[in-house]
Structure 1
Amino acid sequence: MQVSHGVSAVFDDPNLVSAAGLAPVLALAERSGLHELVTEHLTVPGSAGANAAIKVPALVAGMVAGADSISDMDLLRHGGMGRLFEGVRAPTTLGTHLRGFRFGHVRQLDAIAARLLIALTGQTPLLAGADEAAFLDLDDTIRETHGYAKQGVGYGYSKVKGLNALLAVLSTPRAAPVIAGTRLRKGSVNSARGAPRMIADALVTARKAGVTGMVTVRADSAYYNRDVVAAAIRGGASFSITARMDPAIRKAIATIGENAWTTIKYPNAIFDDAEQRWVSDAEVAEIGFTAFTSRRKAEHVTARLRRVKRLNPASVPAGQSELFTAYRYHAVFTDSPQPTLEAEATHRRHAIVEQVIADVKNGPLAHLPSGSFAANSAWLVLAAIAFNLTRAAGALASKFHARATTATIRAQLINIPARIACSARRLRLHLPRN
């Protein structure tokens, strides 16, 4: 492919838009009651909070179209966007609105996000298969920041300076994941801080969104504590959480007989960071186990402790056979009613939350744009709303887009150029042929 000769560019067409796909997406948001929810629940005071029912959808629209900073919201003001949409606001106006938020207003925005997700599941097949089973995956990520002006930044477990975002991701075996809850925390926070409340809120949202089947809460070892497990149990869910290798866990492993292990082969190899290699086989066994015995007896939890063991090739010199077999153990504490091998496969799919985090970071969470912690917290919630809205649009579009990343949906369905024409007092969008 080559560029045709004699091409020149002139930025003078008042009827051309580059993100025509925003029109059906915002129409879906209107049908799901986004504007009414903002009017009813959001009460940011002063001039910054004026016309919130216009400013919040504008921020969401910018994120759906690919904005990852406040200045990027200017993409809503090119060409014929003012004809296609009402209430377009300047980036400075939207930034002022965000800086008017306080902690309580962020919690109001959380309520809006939850209610919108519930409404979207009524409008679209967003959580297909929710009557059979669903999974609530919890994980956090460090969003790197630069400079010294941002509130709450610190060095977390990754040794990167930034802010910590906690996400609760809801999915089913037949549907792509959506974000059921978010929290922005200080950069130096413990991963499990606030996780029990997050689980409780997300389970309520899941049930109201039509999840009637069994829900399994999945998390890694950072969330292996009594409060997290108790929150899952109180919410009527089962749990599957990676257990830390403490002395009690090691003692339980030692009681497993050699004949109790079942060999499995992963359908897709898994990269082991500790061994720096791809792992395609392992052995699985399980045993009854009572966790959190240091607490009072009423708070003990008895469930199945599942072990996956892998031979550690690093302990065997090249060209020699092993003198003593050395295994690495991966322990999972679960009360899942599934058989051992099925439960092991279910827990491995917890990695879906990492895909969601990568997807959001490839979009609106590429930056946390404000120096205000509350404004950045609101930005995170709005990013979740934009993510769920994009997912809902994909679910309506096709089977392919129902499971595609939001970046793919953005490229193929949202950022489509169109020319605006008026016919019989109605706007008509002329899109590229084919």
Structure 2
Amino acid sequence: MQSSHNLTAVFDDPNLVSCAGLAPTMALAQRAGLARLVTKHLTLEGDGSANAHLKIPALVAGMVAGADSIDDMDLLRHGGMDRLFTGVRAPSTLGTFLRTFTFGHVRQLDAIASRFLTGLTKQSPVLPGAHRIAYLDVDDTIKATHGYAKQGVGYGYNHVKGVNALIATLSTPLAAPVIVGTRLRKGNTNSARGAGKFVADALATSRAAGATGELIVRADSAYYGHDVAAAAHRSGARFSVTARMNTAVTAAISTISEESWVPIRYPNAIWDEDEQRLVSDAEVAEIPFTAFTSRRKSEHITARLIVRRVKRLNPTSVPAGQGELFPTYRHHGVFTDTPLPMLDAEVAHRAHAIIEQVHADLRSGPLAHAPSGSFAANSAWLVLAAIAFNLTRAAGALASLFHAKATTATIRDQLISVPARLARSARRLRLHLPEGWPWQYAWEVLFAATCAPPGTARN
């Protein structure tokens, strides 16, 4: 491929749009009731709070199109966008709107996000198989920030200065994750703070979104505590949480007989953080275990401790006080009450890492910045990022099986950021899209499912 040297450029066509895929995607948002939910549940007051039912969809549309800051909302104001959509607002207006949020309004937005996801599941096959088995994954990530003007900034567990984003995702063996809960917290917050209530809310959203079968809460050792396990039990769910290697856990592991260990081979090698290497082979055993015995007896929880052991490459890495107990192997425990067989339960727990892809998608999209100095505004931004993520996922699920599991960046590149020219025919707008677009069929399926007139056939 070579560039033509006989080339000029001018920005002068008022009928072009750069992201024609927003038309069917925002039509899907309308069908799922986004504007209606905002009108019903959001009670903002004061300057800049008017027309929330237009500003919330505008912010979501900007994020779907790739905006990662308030200034980027100008993506919605070019060419024929004002003909394609009504209610588009300037970035300054949207920034003022976000700054009117308080903590209570963010919680109202959480309720909107939960109900909107339920609406999306009725419009799109976004969670196939959820009536049989689904996984609720919980983890937090530190969003790095710079400067000293942002509220809530602190140094987190990874020694990075920023704010802490707690996220819960719902997935099935057939479906990529959607986000069922978010919470922005101070950067120096302990990971497990408020996790019990957060998990309970996420479980309620998961049930409403169609996860009516077996529902398993998965989390790493930061969430190994009574509150998370008890929240799962109260909601009729199971739990699978990495156990901290405390005195009780190490004592239990030491009682496992050598004959109990069963070899396991992972189809995809897993990363051992402590030894900084990929692990394909290990051994697994399980024993009954009662956790949280420091609490009152009624709060003790008895389940299974599934232990994976891997040979050490460096014997000098044995933790102090464990030289005689674990001289040859590294041990990793999973505390779980799932009914799955031991090896299946171990493999299923390792799939908890799927939430890292969601973190990566958010950090490469709307969460690339915490765009405001106001903590409440950034909290609202995080919830809107989750709404945009779920909307993008639902649009991909409508378009094709490939896009149902694609990353948001792939869906955006192939289905959203499609250039088009607007024309009017028989009092209707017509989108003229590029001939030979590689993903034309998937785009047409999405369009037909959301906003094509009844009886309209694809060419």
Partner of 2:193: helix, strand, or coil?
A: coil
Conserved 8 A contact 1:311-1:325 = no
User: For 1:318-333, what aligned pairs fall within 5 Å after superposition?
Assistant: 326-333=328-335
Which residue of the partner structure matches residue 261 of structure 1? 261
CA distance in 1 between partners of 2:44 and 2:131 (Å)? 38
Q: State which drifts further: 113-122 or 191-200.
A: 191-200
Which residue of the partner structure matches residue 381 of structure 1? 383
Partner of 1:313: helix, strand, or coil?
A: coil
Q: State which drifts further: 89-98 or 263-272.
A: 263-272
**Partner AA of 2:345 in structure 1:** A
Report deviation, 1:66. Answer: 0.1
CA distance in 1 between partners of 2:68 and 2:25 (Å)? 18
Conserved 8 A contact 1:243-1:333 = yes
CA distance in 1 between partners of 2:102 and 2:261 (Å)? 53
1:183-204: CA deviation from partner (whole Å, max 9, x where unpaired): 0000000001111111111111
The TM-score normalised by the length of structure 2 is: 0.92
Is the aligned partner of 1:78 residue 2:83? no
Partner of 2:48: helix, strand, or coil?
A: helix
The TM-score normalised by the length of structure 1 is: 0.98
Partner of 1:385: helix, strand, or coil?
A: helix
Q: Which one of the candidate residues 367, 370, 383 is aligned to 2:369?
A: 367
1:134-153: CA deviation from partner (whole Å, max 9, x where unpaired): 00000000000000100000
Report deviation, 1:271. Answer: 2.2
Report deviation, 1:315. Answer: 2.1
Which residue of the partner structure matches residue 245 of structure 2? 245
Partner of 1:87: helix, strand, or coil?
A: coil
**Partner AA of 2:188 in structure 1:** S
Is the aligned partner of 1:221 residue 2:239? no
Q: State which drifts further: 162-171 or 40-49.
A: 40-49
User: For 1:187-206, what aligned pairs fall within 5 Å after superposition?
Assistant: 187-206=187-206
Partner of 1:189: helix, strand, or coil?
A: coil
Which residue of the partner structure matches residue 444 of structure 2? none
Which residue of the partner structure matches residue 121 of structure 2? 121
**Ranges in structure 1 where 5+ consecutive residues have no aligned partner:** 318-322
Partner of 2:168: helix, strand, or coil?
A: strand
Report deviation, 1:268. Answer: 1.2
CA distance in 1 between partners of 2:245 and 2:273 (Å)? 17
Cα RMSD, aligned residues only: 1.2
Is the aligned partner of 1:312 residue 2:312? yes
CA distance in 2 between partners of 1:375 and 1:34 (Å)? 19
Q: State which drifts further: 106-115 or 202-211.
A: 202-211
Q: Which one of the candidate residues 409, 412, 416 is aligned to 1:410?
A: 412
The count of residues paired between Structure 1 and Structure 2 equals: 429
Which residue of the partner structure matches residue 357 of structure 2? 355
CA distance in 1 between partners of 2:208 and 2:279 (Å)? 39
Which residue of the partner structure matches residue 293 of structure 2? 293
1:315-356: CA deviation from partner (whole Å, max 9, x where unpaired): 299xxxxx9951100000000111100000100000011111
Conserved 8 A contact 1:169-1:178 = yes
Which residue of the partner structure matches residue 434 of structure 2? 432
1:217-261: CA deviation from partner (whole Å, max 9, x where unpaired): 000000001111101111110000000000100110110000000
Which residue of the partner structure matches residue 320 of structure 1? none
Report deviation, 1:273. Answer: 2.1
Which residue of the partner structure matches residue 209 of structure 1? 209
Partner of 1:413: helix, strand, or coil?
A: helix
**Partner AA of 1:310 in structure 2:** V
Report deviation, 1:8. Answer: 1.1
Report deviation, 1:428. Answer: 0.2
**Partner AA of 2:367 in structure 1:** L
User: For 1:2-401, what aligned pairs fall within 5 Å after superposition?
Assistant: 2-315=2-315, 326-401=328-403
CA distance in 2 between partners of 1:84 and 1:169 (Å)? 32
Report deviation, 1:211. Answer: 1.3
Partner of 1:383: helix, strand, or coil?
A: helix
Deviant stretches of 4+, over 4 Å: none
**Ranges in structure 2 where 5+ consecutive residues have no aligned partner:** 318-323, 437-459
CA distance in 1 between partners of 2:7 and 2:151 (Å)? 48
Partner of 1:396: helix, strand, or coil?
A: helix
